[in-house]
Structure 1
Amino acid sequence: MKKTKQTEQLSNVEQEEKSGTFQKLLLWVLIPLLFTTALVLIIAKFADVNVFDKAKELTGSLPFVTEKKEEDPIVGDLVLEERVVTMQAEIQEKEAQLFKVQQDFDKSAIANEKLLIEQEKLLDEIAVLMRDKDNSKQDFNEIVKTFEQMSAKSSAPVITKMSDAEAIRILTSLKSATLASILEKMTPEDAAKYMTMMTKQ
């Protein structure tokens, strides 16, 4: 029982000491600090000093405290206008480049059309030449058949009156029996001339 009372008394004493320490802190530190702060604010009010502005200036000079500065609206507008002008210049430059590319594309399209037209013309000309060649080949074959049906006596003077190229062309296309009989009916000089030309081909 005595021990219990003693323990209670000890705990009461400890609590009083703890509360006494807090009260001492409150009395000796916090209350004077609050009083001094109030006194400084009152003096600053009478001296026309804005304490909050001064505090901002002091904290602004500290390296770890950064304050967002208010931008001048005129300067901000000028910067925006410069950016707009720059962007408009870029847009005009891009439009000029696009226009040039479009012109180049149009020119190449026109050139391609001309080439296609020229190609079609050349194909038509080739087709005409092929038809002419086929026709001339048919005509030539008919001429050769005619010479083969003619007598050697009548065909020899006709061949000697032709140009050398035409004569050689016909003579090389004839059958060997017909050729021999035609050469027999020619003068020896003409026969020798045509034989020499045929051997050179």
Structure 2
Amino acid sequence: MEKTLKNQKTEKEPGIFHRFIFWFIIPLLFALFLALLIASVAGVNVFQKAKEFSDNVPILSNMFDEKEKANVLEYEEKIVNLDAEIQNKNAQIDQLKSQLEKNENEKERFLLEKQRLEQTIDELMQMRDENKRAFKEIVTTYEAMAPKNAAPIILEMNDEEAVKILSNIGTESLAKILEKMPPEKAAKYLEKLAAKTE
């Protein structure tokens, strides 16, 4: 029983460490808190004052100056690298924009060229149709003419044009026109007509 009382007594009595915390650390923290609260209400920047104080202490100021210089140099190097990267990206963007504009201009030029070519094709097709119509009218005219009148006219044409007209005239009209030609000319035209049909 005596031992349990001693154990209870020893457990109840705080140690030196506990006393130090209770009597020194907690009041010190409370006082610091109150000082910071009063300084902030008074409008004093405590951290600025601490920096000024550390600048006045030679060992601390040298230590902080070196760290700040190292940090400043590191940040300046990063800024230079980022500026260079931004300039590279801007140059790439400008290059891509100019290439895009060039492609747009080329596209417009090709579209205009395509429209021009389509228009030319339409005009040529109209001319071809008109030429076909005119040629059919010429052939119809020769078929309608009397063979004795048509034969001398055809003889005056060059051979290519004459064969072209004779190849499009109906066989009955062709036979009558060839009858009215000299035999050697009629033979020559028949030979060319036969070669053309092969």
Taking structure 1 as the reference length, what is the TM-score of the superposition? 0.67
Partners of 2:172 and 2:140 in 1: how far apart?
14
SS of 1:196's partner is: helix
CA deviations over 1:5-33 (Å, ceiling 9, x no partner)? xxxxxxx234146358x49xx9xxx77xx
- In the other structure, the counterpart of 2:7 is 18
2:107 to 112, 125, 128: 112
1:166 to 142, 153, 161: 161
- In the other structure, the counterpart of 1:187 is 182
Partners of 1:116 and 1:163 in 2: how far apart?
44
- In the other structure, the counterpart of 1:140 is 135
The residue type paired with residue 110 of structure 1 is: N
- In the other structure, the counterpart of 2:170 is 175
Question: Does 2:124 align with 1:129?
Answer: yes
The residue type paired with residue 128 of structure 1 is: E
Q: Percent identity among equivalent residues?
A: 36
Q: Which runs of 4+ in 1 moved over 6 A?
A: none
- In the other structure, the counterpart of 2:152 is 157
Partners of 2:194 and 2:168 in 1: how far apart?
14
Q: For residues 77-116 of structure 1, what are the structure 2 equivalents within 5 Å? A: 77-116=72-111
CA deviations over 1:136-163 (Å, ceiling 9, x no partner)? 1111111011101111111111111112
Runs of 5+ consecutive residues of structure 2 not aligned to the other structure: 20-62
Runs of 5+ consecutive residues of structure 1 not aligned to the other structure: 1-11, 35-68
Partners of 1:99 and 1:18 in 2: how far apart?
85
The structure whose Rg is larger is 1
Q: For residues 42-81 of structure 1, what are the structure 2 equivalents within 5 Å? A: 72-81=67-76
Partners of 1:195 and 1:106 in 2: how far apart?
64
CA-atom RMSD, angstroms?
Answer: 2.3
CA gap of 1:183–1:75, structure 2 versus 1, over 3 A, is same
- In the other structure, the counterpart of 1:54 is none
How many residues are paired up? 148
- In the other structure, the counterpart of 1:63 is none
Partners of 1:174 and 1:130 in 2: how far apart?
24
Partners of 1:73 and 1:128 in 2: how far apart?
81
Shift in Å at residue 134 of structure 1? Answer: 1.1
- In the other structure, the counterpart of 2:39 is none
CA deviations over 1:89-140 (Å, ceiling 9, x no partner)? 0000011011111111111111111111111111111111111111111111
Partners of 2:142 and 2:7 in 1: how far apart?
149
SS of 1:72's partner is: helix
Partners of 1:132 and 1:175 in 2: how far apart?
25
Partners of 2:83 and 2:5 in 1: how far apart?
79
